[in-house]
Amino acid sequence: MTVLVTGGAGYIGSHMVHALRDAGERVVVLDNLSTGRRWALPGDVPLFVGETGDEALVAAIIGAHEVRAIIHFAASIVVPDSVADPLGYYRNNTANARTLIEAAVKGGVRHFIFSSTAAVYGTPATLPVAEDAPLQPESPYGTSKLMTELILRDAGRAHGLAYAILRYFNVAGADPQGRAGQSTPNATHLIKVGVQAALGLRPGLQVYGTDYPTPDGTCLRDYIHVSDLAAAHSAALAYLRQGGASRIFNCGYGRGYSVLEVIEAVKRVAGVDFPVSFAPRRPGDAAAVVAGNGRILSELGWRPQLDDLPTIVAHALAWERTLRTRNDAGA
């Protein structure tokens, strides 16, 4: 029985591939390498370069490798890009996911784990936000993910596909063993941009919006270490395999940091200063998003191991240094 990881050559997916292999699972990856990197995968993990929307390809992979579980990471992920290109986001995150789910149903896949997002909540009325809060995405990205949640819910009911929908809050950091990290050249995530500024790879950092209704006027986010997130997937897979009912789980720590607090943490951990300027709000950004994580703690028994902002930043920084060496070597 094999686990198919879509988007396994990407940031979070590559951590998942390592976690699955560490647990002795058989893994295959489907990735179109649009943002993923072949070298992000261990050499002995089969990689199919192709589209999640290619039903024939997905069916062939499921058949050839006896795939019984799919962990679906592949997506377009940049909130402001989705505002500029909604149709592209609906194609990749919704239409392609629909095709993948159909191939899963037809191919007899039993368990499906879907990467959803805190962006489905928009700006929650109360924090921390629980899974049953109103869903009011403020960007096409969030809407594209919410639509896939609904497709999965209905297909799961109709066809007996058991699923876990994991709504990630802000994912950051890198594998503590240095095997994987965020490698997208033009990544836009705050901690990634911050460590690049600290290493002199960018001239500095812009803060998008200082007039939000938050304590210091900048957006609040709940940053979760990518290895804790991979562990949440492993827990969800074990739950489904034990016959657990289809369920939605928030993945976050339940604590928010402002953009300015994150920048201070990066400067402190890196031990350097870098220029910070203030810019207007970025389209599609919610003011404050913090996870209510009671459900995943109580129902999956998940326990964060790396719940500490300086640790997250230190791992991101270490990875960025490795990446620079790798890029210098032309990898």
Ligand X SMILES: O=c1ccn([C@@H]2O[C@H](COP(=O)(O)OP(=O)(O)O[C@H]3O[C@H](CO)[C@@H](O)[C@H](O)[C@H]3O)[C@@H](O)[C@H]2O)c(=O)[nH]1
Ligand Y SMILES: NC(=O)c1ccc[n+]([C@@H]2O[C@H](COP(=O)([O-])OP(=O)(O)OC[C@H]3O[C@@H](n4cnc5c(N)ncnc54)[C@H](O)[C@@H]3O)[C@@H](O)[C@H]2O)c1
Binding-site ranges for ligand X (CB under 6 A): 77, 79, 117-119, 168-170, 188-190, 193, 205-208, 219, 221, 259, 282, 285, 289
d(CA 129, CA 144): 20
Catalytic residue among 11, 89, 90, 141: 141
Residues numbered 21 to 50 that lie near ligand Y (CB under 6 A) are: 30-36
For residue 243, the minimal CB distance to ligand Y (Å) is: 26
- From the list 72-80, 125-133, 173-181, 300-308, the region that binds ligand Y by CB under 6 A is 72-80
Q: Is 141 noted as a catalytic residue in this protein?
A: yes
H helical segments located in the chain: 11-22, 55-65, 79-84, 86-89, 96-106, 140-159, 190-198, 226-241, 259-270, 294-300, 309-328
For residue 69, the minimal CB distance to ligand X (Å) is: 23
Q: What is the dihedral of CA 18, 24, 30, 31, to 10 degrees?
A: 10
Under the binding rule (CB under 6 A), the answer on residue 75 touching ligand Y is yes
Choose the one of ligand Y, ligand X, none that binds residue 9, judging by a C-beta under 5 to 8 angstroms depending on kind.
ligand Y
Choose the one of ligand X, ligand Y, none that binds residue 35, judging by a C-beta under 5 to 8 angstroms depending on kind.
ligand Y
| Polymer length of the chain | 331
Under the binding rule (CB under 6 A), the answer on residue 10 touching ligand Y is yes
As given in the structure block, the two tokens for residue 14 are 């590559």
d(CA 148, CA 146): 5
d(CA 313, CA 268): 10
Cis amide prior to 283 (ω within 30 degrees): no
For residue 246, the minimal CB distance to ligand Y (Å) is: 18
Q: Are 135 and 120 in contact (CB under 8 A)?
A: yes
For residue 61, the minimal CB distance to ligand X (Å) is: 25
Contact residues for ligand Y, defined by CB under 6 A: 6-7, 9-13, 30-36, 51-53, 73-75, 77, 92, 96, 115, 117, 168, 170-171, 184
